Amino acid sequence: MDKELFNFIRSASPVLDKQNKFMFFGNHKVGQTSINRTLLKGRVINLKSFGPKYYKKFDSYSLDDVERIFKFTIVRNPFERVVSAFFYLKREGILPPETFREFIKTSFRKRGVEVDLHFHKIYPKLYFKGKLVVDFVARLENIENDWNFIASKIGCSNKLPHKNKGKYKGYKSYYDKECIKIVSEVYKEDLEQFDYDFTWLSNPSELEQIGTNALERCVRDHNISNRVDHILTEL
């Protein structure tokens, strides 16, 4: 690992481990609260809580240390993640009393992810010069299986709790054609790099409803511009 990559990872401020076994590139509304506050309580060193001590810890690592330490992240379908962030921020009184569609077509259309840090893009903090910097990308949609692998690598329980669980209907019901278009444009890179689109399964039980072939198409066919146009014609 060279110094430039080291500095990029440092600037991403991943959660560090007191046991020096992992770096967790957390993302808002993708399970980081459950992990940091519950499952790994007592182990994590994050920038928000530790301030200057965080950088002292990070700078104690050598280039070889950072390359060796297991680095992981968890991603989520941007279409569902936006819905989750919206309802969380409304519940906290941060967003005005408007519907999801009204919000997407006004504030979000104008300001995009700058509306609030909970809408941040995931791609920029995980890719350096076009290359993925983490060793493993878990999906929230498959978190039970993916966490089993992570737990085996970092030495922790595989029983992952869930905090701050949102209460809302399936994310697809909140969208119309215009909202799909807006969110697709804002999260174009996230959708492409992590193989998501509007039709991605948000719940494994949906597999029985749409069939295995449809799931395979969702994974295989992730050309965003073509895919969005196709989805819009079906709505």
d(CA 136, CA 161) in angstroms, rounded, equals 20
- 93-150 pLDDT tens trace: 999 889 999 999 999 999 999 999 999 999 999 999 999 999 999 999 999 899 999 9
Question: What total number of domains does the chain contain?
Answer: 1
d(CA 147, CA 153) in angstroms, rounded, equals 10
What is the separation of C-alpha 79 from the centre of its chain, rounded to a whole number of angstroms? Answer: 11
d(CA 10, CA 78) in angstroms, rounded, equals 25
pLDDT on residue 231: 37
The pTM score is 0.81
| Residue 228: closest CA among 189, 178, 193 | 178
Contact in structure between 199 and 191 (CB atoms under 8 Å): no
d(CA 195, CA 215) in angstroms, rounded, equals 12
Query: Is residue 77 scored above 70 in pLDDT?
Result: yes
- 144-175 pLDDT tens trace: 899 999 999 999 888 876 555 556 678 999 99
Range of the domain at 222: 3-234
d(CA 15, CA 24) in angstroms, rounded, equals 5
Residue 187 identity: Y
